[in-house]
Structure 1
Amino acid sequence: MTMQQIPAQGAEQEQRVVELSISGMTCASCVGRVERKLGKLDGVQASVNLPLETAVVRVPASISDQDLIDTVVATGYGAHVVKPEHDVEGGHDHDHTPSLLGARLTLAAVLSVPVLLISMVPALQFTNWGWVVFGLSLPVVTWSAWPFHRAAAINARHLSSTMDTLVSIGVTAAFLFSSWQLFADPTLTQHGGMAGMDMSEYSLYFEVAAVVVTFLLLGRFLEASAKQRAGNALKSLLTLGAKEAHVLRTVDGERTEVTLPAQALIPGDEFVVRPGEKIATDGVVIEGHSALDTALLTGESIPVEVTAGDAVTGATINTSGRLVVRATRVGSDTVLSQMGRLVSQAQSGKARIARLADRISAVFVPVVLVIAIVTFVLWLLLTGDLDAAFTASVTVLVIACPCALGLATPTALLTGTGRGAQLGILIRGPQVLEDTRTVDTIVLDKTGTITTGTMAVDDVVSLHDASGAELLRLAGAVEAQSEHPIAQAIARHATDAGRLPAARDFSSAPGGGVRGTVDGVTVTAGRTGWLERNGIRPNDVDMAAFGAVEDAGTTAVWVAIDDAVAGFVTLSDSIKDGSAAAIERLRRLGLRPVLLTGDNRAVALQVAATVGIDAADVHAGVTPAGKVDVVRGLQAAGATVAMAGDGVNDAAALAQADLGIAMGSGTDVAIEAADLTVMGNSLEQVAQAIELSRRTLSAIKGNLFWAFFYNAVGIPVAAFGLLNPMLAGAAMAASSVLVVANSLRLRGFGR
C-alpha cells in the first residue's frame, strides 16, 4: 500500500498529510462519525469530504497509516490510503457505484410497476394475486434495497441512525407485515378484485415497500453518478498538457529532432516548439522569439512576448515564431501539476454540507422506534389483544415510512435541475443549493466571464494627415500577413471596413511588429522599439498620446507611413453584452460583486467602471494561487463567497469558494471544479443560476416541512389505533403527491 504525503503548510515538525479513500458513507452523520473517531487519535486532525468520499488527515509521526485505516474500519466503513497518482481503485463502496445501483434501480422499477398496478387497481386483480405480488416484491425489498439495509445495520452496530435506517425499517415493516397477513390467511386474495377482503382488519402493503425502494434508489443513483464525476477535475487538468515533445538530440555530431512522449522529458532536455504547438513542460527559451497564449493558465488576454532567457510554462501555446526551450521542471514539479494539487486541496478543505433530512432523521428515527414500541406495549397491556397491538405498532412504522421525506429532496432537485438544463444551467447536487442560500459575495473572473477573452480594435487614432479609415486600411493590409493574435485582430477589423489591398516586401520581427509596401507606400506597424529599429522616432507629443491610452488599460500599436508616424490603433478585451445588467441583477439578489483578474490594474479598473463594480472591489495581477488566497481572505473576513470563472487558472479558486460557478464556454477543468455550470457565455445566466438554486432549495425546505408535518399528525393518530394500515398507506401516498406537486412548480421558473 502506498501513501500520498503532502507537505503540511504551517504544520508542526514531523507532521504529514495523508489522504484516505473512505467507502460506505451515505450521509452527514457518517462524516461526523468518521471525523470524531479519527480526531480521538492523539494529534490527528481530519476533514472528511462526503461527495469525494475522501478524508484529508493531518498526522503526527507517532501515528501510522494502518492506525488510521484500522480506526475507520472499526467505525464501520472501508478505507485505504490514496495512491499518489490518484488511483483509488478498490476504494469505492461497490454497493454505491453507479453501475450496480443502476442494476438495482432497473430491477426495482421493472418489478414495482406491476406490483403497484395489481395492488391499487381492482380490475387488474386475479385469483391469489397477493402471492404474485409477494413474489415480485421480494427481490425489490432484499437485493434492490440492500444498500439501505447494509447501511442501517452498520449504523445500528454503532447505536446510531440515518435516513437509511428509516428506509430499511419502513420497507421491512411494510413487507413483513404484509407477508404475515398473507401467510396467516393464505386465502386472503383467493378472489379477484377486492372481494373477500375485510379492509377494516387486513391489507397488503407490498406496493408501499416496492415503490419506496424504487424512488429512493433513483435519488441514490443520481447522487452516486455525481460523486463519480467529482474527481474528474484533476483528470481534465492533467490532459491539458502537451502529449509529445520534439527533443533535440546529437547523433553523429549533428543535431536532430526526436519525437518523445512529454512525460519522458527530464530537466536539461532541449525541445522545439513550433507555431500552434503547446509547450511540453516548464522551461527557459534558449533560441527564438514568439508570443505565447497564456490565457489558459493565467487568464491574460494579451499574448506574452518571449525571447531567449525568458521562462515559459508548460501547456501554454506558441502562437507565432519557432522556439527552442530547455526543460527546467517536469512531471509533478510543473506549474500545471501544482495547480492540480491546488484544486485537490481546495476540494478536500471545502465546507461540509449536512443534508437537512439526515440531520432531522438522526432524532426522528429513534423517536419513531420508541413510539412504535410504546404503542405495542400499551396496547398489549391495556387490551391484551396481540393482533391489535402489533397492527397499531406496525401502522406507526408504516405511516412513518419516509416516502415523502425521501422524495422531498430528489423530486425538487430533479425538477429544478431539469428546468435548469432547459435554461443552460447545471446544478451539481443538493449541497450546492444550501450554499446559494447564504452567499453574499460573488467573485467574477474578468477574462471569459465579464469580457469575451478576445482582443478587438477599440479605436484608430490619427495623429497627422492620414484619415483614420486610411490608417486602418494600410495597417490591416500589412498585419494580415502576420499570425500574431494582435495583428489578426487588427486585420479582422480592417476587413470588416472593406477589402484590403495586397502587401509586398513583407517583413516582421516576433514581439516587434510588421513592415511592408501597400499601394506604393511603406507601412510600418508595431511597438515603439520596432519603429526605432526602422529609424522612425515618434515625437514627444505623439508619445504622450500613445502613453495615455496604454495607461488607461488598452493595448496600442503604432502605424507609420513612409517612415513617419501617422497614428496608432488601440485594442482591448471587449466586454460581453449584458455583463453590466447581470451585475446589477446580482446586486438585487443581495450579492456584492468583486472583480478578480490576472490582467494589469489599469485594464481591470476600466472593465470594473464599465460594468458597475466598485474600484475597492478590484483585485488585479493575481496568479492562480493568488486567486485562492483572495477567496480565502474574503471568507476569513466573514463573507460567504461565490466564484464565477472559465479558465484553468480559476479552477482552484472555484473549488475553494463556498459556491463555484463555471462558464460553460470555458475549460473542462473549470467546469468540473465548480458547483454550478452555465452552458452559455452570458453573465446573466450566472444570476439566473443563483436564483434558480435558491428557488429549488426553498421547494426542498417546503417539502421537508410537509413531510414531517404529516408524520407529526399521523403518528399519534396511528398510535391511538384510529388509523388502520390501509389508510396509513393512503395518507403516506397523499403526502408524497403533495411533495411532488410542490416540486413541479419549479417547471415554471423563468417562463
Structure 2
Amino acid sequence: MSNHSHHHPEPEKHMTTDEHQHQKAHDSHGGHHDHHTHMVEDFKKRFYISLLITIPILILSPMIQMFLSVDWRFNGDIYILFALSTFVFFYGGWPFLAGTKDELKDKAPGMMTLISLAITVAYVYSTAAVFGFAENDFYWELATLVDIMLLGHWIEMRSVMGASKALEELAKLMPSEAHLIDDGGNITEVDVTELKQGDHVLVKPGEKVPVDGQILEGKSTIDESMLTGESVPVEKDVGLEAIGGSINGEGSLVISVMKTGSETYLSQVITLVKEAQESKSRAQDLANRAAKWLFYGALAAGLITFIIWISLGYPVSFAMERMVTVLIIACPHALGLAAPLVVAVSTSIAAKNGLLIRNRAAFEGARNIEAVVFDKTGTLTKGEFGVTNIATSEDFSEEEVISYAAAVEAQSQHPLAKGVTMKAKEMGIPLQRTENFQSLTGKGLEGTVDGKQVLVVSPGYVKELNLKYDNVQFDKWSSEGKTVVFTLIDKKLAGMIALADIVRETAVDAINELKEMNVKSIMLTGDNVKVAHYVGVQLGMEEIFAEVLPHEKSEKIEHIQKVDRLRTAMTGDGVNDAPALAKADLGIAIGAGTDVAIETADVVLVKSNPLDVVNIIKLSKATYRKMTQNLWWAAGYNIAAIPLAAGVLYPIGIVLSPAVGAILMSLSTVIVAINAKLLKL
C-alpha cells in the first residue's frame, strides 16, 4: 500500500509552460512538491542575480546617460556592457527561451514566446550596435524586461504552491503493521504488505483496521466516518466486514483478510483521486491568451513598419530601428505583472480570511460556479451529537432523566454519550458518581447512580424487555433521522432522549447567500435518507442525495456537471469526499477535515465555516475583475504605443524615442501594481 505514494503521475494542473522543461530534469528525484519548491527557488535566484547585474548595465547605457544628461563614457565601456548583457540574456532569460521552445512545439505561442521575442530582438540588435552594424543599443531594455518577468513569474509561482500530496496522505491512513495470528494462536507483528488472503489478524481496541476483512470473533463499534461519511460508529459483529483504515472502537476483533494491496477499499479511493486529478486540464490563463495575440500583433506591426519605411525611401538602419522599437515595446512589462500581482494580493487576502488557495486555475474559475455540493457530516453539521428532544414519563423530570443518563454516559467514549454529557453541562447539572459501570455490547450502558440501577439503552433492548413507551413520539423522531436512547431507572422507563448531528449556524446563512447569487445548493451524503432530509429541510437545500457510497459521490458530481450542465463546486471533509473533490470544477475542503480531503482540494477553509464557500466565489469574482482591468491597462498601453513606436506621427515631427517608450512602460507597470493593491473582499 505504502508504495502508492512514491510514483504517482504528476498532476498536470499546476504546470506553467516554463515549468515543463524544468520538469523533465527533476522527475527523477522527489515528488512534484520538492520540484515545485526547487522551481520557485530557481526563479528567485535568477531574479536577484540578474537584478544585481542590471545596475551596472543601466549606469553604462549611453541612452540612459543621455536621458539623465550625464556623460560617464570611457574606452571599452561598450564591451563591458555587451558582456554583462550577454550574461543576463542567457542566465536570466533562459527559462523564457526554454519555455518558448515548448510553446512553439505545442503551436501555442504565449507569454514565453512574447518575452523571448522582445529580449532576443533587443539582444541581437544591440550586439549589432556594439560591433558597428546598427546605431543604438537596447541592453538596458533587455535587462529590465528580464528582471520584471522573472519577478512576475517568481511571485506567481510562489502563490501557486505545491501540487497534490493527497495520495501520500491516503497511504498514511493505512496502518503499516498488523498483528498476525498463526495456526498455533501465537501473535506476531508483520508488515501489512506481507498479509495474504485468508490470514487471521487481531485488531485491538482503538487501533486502525489494517486491511479489508471479515470479522471472525468479537463485537465492537467501528468508526468509518473518515471513509464512508456515516456519522455514527457502526456496530460490528461476527460475519460483517471491516474496512481497512477505519478505527476500531472498544472491542477486540479477529478478522480474516479478504482483500490486500490494490484491491482494498482505500486503494480504490486512491485510484479514483489519481484519475480525477489527471483529467483536470490546465486552465489557460488570461495573460497567456493576451500574450499570444500581442505576439502575432507585434510581428505583424514590426514587419509592416519595416516595409513602409523602406518603401518610403528611408535608409535600412532607420527602418530597422523603428522595427526593433516596435518589437521591444510590444512586450509589455506590465502584462508580465498584471496577473501575478493580482494573484499575490488575492492569495494573501484569502489567507487572512482563512481560505488557503492550492490551485489557482480552479480558484479563478470559481466565479462561474453554478452549483455548490455540500457533504453533510462535518461540513453542514458539526459532526458531533447534541440532544434535540427529551420526553419523560410522569414520575420523572427532564433534569432527573438527563442527570442519571449523563452520570452513566460519562463513562463512555461514544459520540452519543458525549452529546448527553454536554446537555447536562448546558443545563448546569453536576455529574453524579457511577459505580458498577459496564457496557452491554450492542445494547447500551449500565451503572449504579445514587443507589439506583440506571440503564441507557437502545430501542431494540427496550422492545426485548416489553416496556411501553410513546411510539408516536419515537416514530416522529426516528423519521427525522434522530438517534433515540432510553433511560431506565430501577427497571422503570424514565424517559427518551433524541440526539442528532448539530447543524452549523453559519450553514443556514451560507445557503441563503448562495440563493441570492443564483447558485444552487445540493447536499450529497453517505448518511441515511431520514437524517439527510431532516438536516436538508432545516437548511433549505434545493436537492438532497443521501446514502451515496463514496465511489458514487464523484459519479454524482459528474452527473451534475454533464447532465444538469452546471459548473460545480464540492465541499467536503472526509476521505470519501476526496474523489468528488478532485472531480468537481472547484474542490473545497473543510479545514477540520482529514489531510486527504485537504490535499485533494483546490481551496481549503481553515475555519470550517460554510459561509467561506460564499467568500471564495466573491473573492474569485473580484480577482477576475482586477485581472481584466490590469490586462486592459497593460495591453491598452501597448495598443497605443506600437503605432507611435512605428512612427505614425513622424510626418509631424513626433517620434517615440525608445527612452520615452521606457518611461511610459514603467508608468503602466506602476498603475498595474497600484490597481492590484486595491483588491479587497
TM-score normalised to the size of structure 1?
0.81
1:724 aligns with 2:652: no
> What is the aligned partner in structure 2 of residue 620 from structure 1?
546
Aligned to 1:152: 100
CA distances 1:3-44 after superposition (whole Å, capped 9, x unpaired): x9xxxxxxxxxxxxxx9968xxxxxxxxxxxxxxxxxxxxxx
Q: Does 1:675 align with 2:602?
A: yes
Mapping 1:117-196, distance limit 5 Å = 118-119=58-59, 135-156=83-104, 161-182=109-130, 184=132
Q: 1:739 aligns with which of 667, 672, 681?
A: 672
Task: Say which SS state the counterpart of residue 470 (structure 2) adopts.
Answer: helix
Letter in 1 for 2:516: R
In structure 2, what is the equivalent of residue 377 of structure 1?
307
SS in 2 for 1:239: helix
Deviation at 1:90, TM superposition (A): 6.6
Of 439, 444, 452, which aligns to 1:521? Answer: 452
Find the aligned partners of 1:127 and 1:276 in 2 and give their Cα distance. Answer: 79
> Which runs of 5 or more structure 1 residues have no equivalent in the other structure?
5-18, 23-47, 55-75, 81-86, 187-200
Which runs of 5 or more structure 2 residues have no equivalent in the other structure? Answer: none
The residue aligned with 2:529 is 601
How far off is 1:142 after superposition? 0.9
C-alpha deviation, 1:470, in angstroms? 0.7
- 1:374 deviates by 2.7
Instruction: Assess, with a 3 A threshold, how the Cα gap between structure 1 residues 394 and 341 changes in structure 2: closer, same or farther.
Output: same
Look up the match of 1:658: 585
Provide, for residues 178-217 of structure 1, a one-character-per-residue CA deviation record: whole Å limited to 9, x for no partner. 444455499xxxxxxxxxxxxxx856442x3334333433
RMSD between aligned residues: 3.2
Query: Which of 569, 572, 575 is the equivalent residue of 1:642?
Result: 569
CA distance in structure 2 between the partners assigned to 1:660 and 1:598 by the alignment: 18
Deviations 1:241-264 (A, max 9, x none): 1122111123xx4x1221122222
1:57 aligned residue? none
Deviations 1:56-109 (A, max 9, x none): xxxxxxxxxxxxxxxxxxxx98999xxxxxx96379999985415523432322
Aligned-partner Cα distance in 2 for 1:176–1:92? 39
Q: CA deviation at 1:416?
A: 0.8
Residue deviations 1:672-704 (CA, integer Å, cap 9, x gap)? 222222211111111111111111111111112
Aligned to 2:635: 708
Identity, in percent, stands at 34
Question: Cα 1:205–1:574, aligned 2, differ >3 Å: closer, same or farther?
Answer: same
**2: distance between equivalents of 1:131 and 1:729?**
23
| Secondary structure of 2:166 counterpart | helix
**Residues 20 and 79 of structure 1 are in contact (CA less than 8 Å); yes or no, is this contact kept in structure 2?**
no
- The residue type paired with residue 566 of structure 2 is A
Encode CA deviations 1:559-606: one digit per residue, 9 max, x unaligned. Answer: 111111111111111111211112111222221111111111211112
**Which amino acid in structure 2 is aligned with residue 726 of structure 1?**
A
Q: Mapping of 1:513-552 within 5 angstroms?
A: 513-531=444-462, 536-539=465-468, 541-552=469-480
User: Bigger relative contact order, structure 1 or 2, given CA contacts below 8 A and separation 6+?
Assistant: 2
For 1:523, give the aligned amino acid: V
Whether the 8 Å contact between 2:507 and 2:539 is mirrored in structure 1 is yes
Instruction: Provide the residue aligned with 1:508 in structure 2.
Output: 439
Equivalenced residue count is: 656
- The answer for the alignment partner of 1:437 in structure 2 is 367
* Aligned pair partner of 1:690 in 610, 617, 625: 617
Alignment check: 8 A CA contact 1:706 1:735 kept: yes
* Distance verdict in 2 for CA 1:204–1:92, change over 3 Å: farther
The letter of the residue matching 1:538 is L
CA contact (8 A) 2:46 2:91 kept: no
Offset, 1:224 = 5.6
Question: Could you tell me whether the CA contact under 8 Å between 1:21 and 1:53 is conserved in 2?
Answer: no
Partner of 2:163: 230
Structure 1 position 554, deviation (Å): 0.8
The 1:53/1:401 distance shift into structure 2, 3 A limit, reads closer
**Contact 1:351–1:658, Cα closer than 8 Å, also in 2:** no
| CA contact 2:53–2:88 (8 Å) conserved in 1 | no
Is the partner of 2:481 in helix, strand or coil? Answer: coil
1:650 shift after superposition:
1.0
Find the aligned partners of 1:227 and 1:332 in 2 and give their Cα distance: 32
Contact 2:362 2:602 in 1 (8 A): yes
Partner of 1:556: 484
Distance 1:390 1:605 in 2: 74
Q: What is the one-letter code of the residue matched to 1:419?
A: I
| Counterpart residue number, 1:115 | 54
CA contact (8 A) 2:384 2:501 kept: yes
Q: CA deviation at 1:369?
A: 1.4
TM-score (norm. length: structure 2): 0.89
> 1:281-680 alignment to 2 at 5 Å?
281-350=211-280, 352-496=282-426, 497-531=428-462, 536-539=465-468, 541-614=469-542, 617-636=543-562, 637-680=564-607
Q: Which residue of 2 aligns with 1:12?
A: none
The answer on whether the counterparts of 2:215 and 2:241 sit within 8 Å (CA) in structure 1 is yes
The letter of the residue matching 1:715 is: I
Deviations 1:302-347 (A, max 9, x none): 1111111111111111122111111111111011111111111122
CA–CA separation in structure 2 for the residues paired with 1:159 and 1:611: 50
Kept in 1: contact 2:369–2:617 (CA 8 A): no
- Alignment CA distance shift 1:293-1:155 (3 Å): closer
Whether the 8 Å CA contact 1:343–1:673 is kept in 2: the answer is yes
Q: What is the correspondence of 1:197-276 to structure 2 with a 5 Å cutoff?
A: 202=136, 204-206=138-140, 208-221=141-154, 229-250=162-183, 253=184, 255-276=185-206
Query: Given that residues 294 and 330 in structure 2 are in contact (C-alpha distance below 8 angstroms), is that contact kept between their aligned partners in structure 1?
Result: no
Task: Assess if the C-alpha contact under 8 Å between 1:246 and 1:272 holds in 2.
Answer: yes
